[in-house]
Amino acid sequence: MAWLNSKKRMYVVLVAVFLLTFAIGSLAGGSIKKIFSDSMLELSAKGKPINILFMGIDDRENANNTRSDTMIVASIDPKNKKVVMVSVPRDTHIKDALGRSEKINSVNYTKGPEAACKVVSDLLNVPVNYYVVTNFAGFGKIVDILGGVDMDVESDMYHWDVSYIINLKKGYQHLNGDQALQYVRYRGGPTADIGRTQRQQKFIKALAKQMFKAKTVLTLPELIPEISKNVKTNIPTSDMLYLAKLAKSLDTSTINAQTLPGYPYTDPGSGASYWEPDREKAEIIIATLMQGKNFDVVGDPPSWINKAPEKYVSKELPTADVLQEKNELTTIDPEAGSTDKTGEITELEPGTGTDGEGTDVTSPTDSTEEVGTDNGDQNTGIEELPPETPESETPTDGSNTGQPVQQ
C-alpha cells in the first residue's frame, strides 16, 4: 500500500511538472474536487479540447483570494496533440452583472477562481472548467529546484519599489528562481503589460525544454512540498494521471501562443485605463491558434474613440481701419464729435442726444405739455420743467432751510 501511495504521489508530481510548461509557476496540486460531469478522458474521447485557466497571484499574506497578476488559458487538443495558449492581460475590460466596468484580474479576488473561469469562458467562447492558481511566493523556489532556465533577456530591465526590485541585464543567460520571477513580472518598456504577457509565453517555452530533461526526475522529492504549499487547483487526481500520459505525446516546442488582441482604452468618465479586447477575434482565437495562425496583438481602436470633439474657432472680424475704408464704421467720440459714413468729423452741440443724423429722442410725459426748443431739429420734443414747483414738493439742498434750490 505504501508503494502504491508513493507511486501515486510520483504521478501527481509528474503532472505538476507538465502543467508548469503552460503557466508561470502553475503546478498541479493542492485541494482537489470533482465538479464536472465529463472528465478530461471523456472530453478527449468526444474529440473536445481541454481548457485550463492558469493564474499567478502575489499572495504574501496567505489570503483566500487575491487579484490575478497573470492569466493564461491553455487549450489542449488530445486528438491532434496540439497545445495553444492565450494570455489575457490583467487590465482586460469586462462588465459585471450590473453592467459596471471592471478589470478581469479583480474577478478572482472578489468572486474566486470558478468565477474567473466563467468570465474567461464567456470572453473566449470556449468552456473553461479547470483552473490552476500559483502563488508567486513559491515560484522562485520551484524554478531553483528545477535547476533554473536559460533565457535571452531582450533588454536591461530595472524597477524598484518598497516591495520588489527588478534588475536584469540584457543578453543570453541562465536565470535562477529570483531572476526568473523578475523576468516574468517586469512591466516596463513601451508595451507595459502587453510586453509582459509575451515574455511570459517565451519563458514558458524555455522552461518546458528544461523540465523534460531526464535530471528533472531527481528533483521530485524537493518539488512535492513546494507544490502543495503554493498551488491550488480543481483538477481531479484521475485527470492528473491522464494528463501525465498525454504529456508524453505532446511536442511542447510547437506550442502556439499569443496575447488576446485588443487596444488600450481610457474611460473618459472614471479615468481608468483598460485593455479593450477585440471581442470578435477573442471568440475565434483558440480555433485560429490551433490552425497555426496568429492575430496582431495591438489593433486599431474604433473610429469613435479617436474622434476628438470639434474645436471652436472664433470668427476673424475686420479691423476698424478696414471698416472705415469700406464706409461701414460709425463711431461716437463725446469729446471730439462723431464720424459720419464719409469719415468727416461732425461737431456735436451741447445737449444733443443723437448720433448727428437728426433722430428725435423723446421722453414719456404725464400731463405736462411738451414744449419744443430751438436747439436745432435735434432737440425737438425735449421736455422743459415748469417755471415754479410747489414748495412742499421742492427739493432742498440738505441744509433744512426750506429754501428752494436755485435752478
pLDDT by residue for the chain (407 residues), tens digit each? Answer: 444 444 444 444 444 444 453 333 333 333 334 444 578 888 888 889 999 999 988 766 555 677 888 899 999 999 898 999 999 999 999 998 888 999 999 999 999 999 999 999 999 999 999 998 888 778 888 889 888 899 999 999 998 877 778 999 999 999 999 999 899 888 877 677 777 788 888 888 787 777 666 576 677 788 778 877 888 889 888 888 888 788 778 877 788 999 999 999 888 888 899 999 999 999 999 999 999 999 999 877 776 665 555 556 666 777 767 666 766 555 555 555 544 545 455 554 555 444 444 444 444 444 444 444 444 444 444 455 555 555 544 444 544 444 554 44
Rounded to an integer, what distance in angstroms lies between the CA atom of residue 25 and that of residue 54? 9
CATH architecture label of 2-306: 3-Layer(aba) Sandwich (3.40)
286, 261 in Cβ contact below 8 A? no
Separation of alpha carbons 367 and 373, rounded Å: 19
Q: Tell me the C-alpha to C-alpha distance, in Å, between residue 18 and each of 41, 81, 139, 143, 207.
A: 17, 14, 15, 14, 10
Determine contact, residues 65/143, Cβ cutoff 8 Å.
no
394 contact partners, CB below 8 Å, separation of at least 6: 404, 405
Buried b / exposed e across 83-107, counting CB within 10 Å, b at 16+? bbbbbbbbbbbbeeeeeeebbbbbb
Cα dist from 202 to 153, 206, 258, 400, whole Å? 10, 6, 10, 103
Q: Domain ranges for the chain, please list them.
A: 2-306, 314-348
